[in-house]
Amino acid sequence: MTVDRYGNLQTVLAADRLAAAGLLAGAEVGVRSGEVTAPSRYGETFGSAEVGRLVLYEDSAGLAALAVNGSSAATLLRANPGTVIRLTAARRPGG
């Protein structure tokens, strides 16, 4: 995992693996970084989540990434380069 200058987290997970696992846009996703857990939404852009909310999205490199709309995912999750991030599908949209 890498961290950019805005605090966005780029994973090594190909984003197409999210869809292959059945994750749909709008789904709630649990995110764990060490002892920190946070709810996230699987969306297309930062704007897919409310300001201050964590969003999981496909970045320009085709990788799964985490960002906070208007803030820093690295700060929220206390993550540094190399931190292991765990994702758990919480529920499907509308479900």
In tens digits, the chain (95 residues) has pLDDT values of 899 999 999 999 999 999 888 888 889 999 999 999 999 999 887 777 889 999 999 999 999 999 998 999 999 999 999 899 999 886 555 55
Pairing of strands 36-42, 85-91: unpaired
Q: Residue 51: what residue type?
A: V
Q: Which domains does the chain have, with CATH numbers?
A: 2-91 (2.40.30.90)
Hey, is 94 helix, strand or coil?
A: coil
Strands in 54-58's sheet, in edge-to-edge order, are 2-3, 9-14, 63-68, 54-58, 36-42, 28-33, 85-91
Q: CB of 14 within 8 A of CB of 64? A: yes
Record the pTM.
0.89
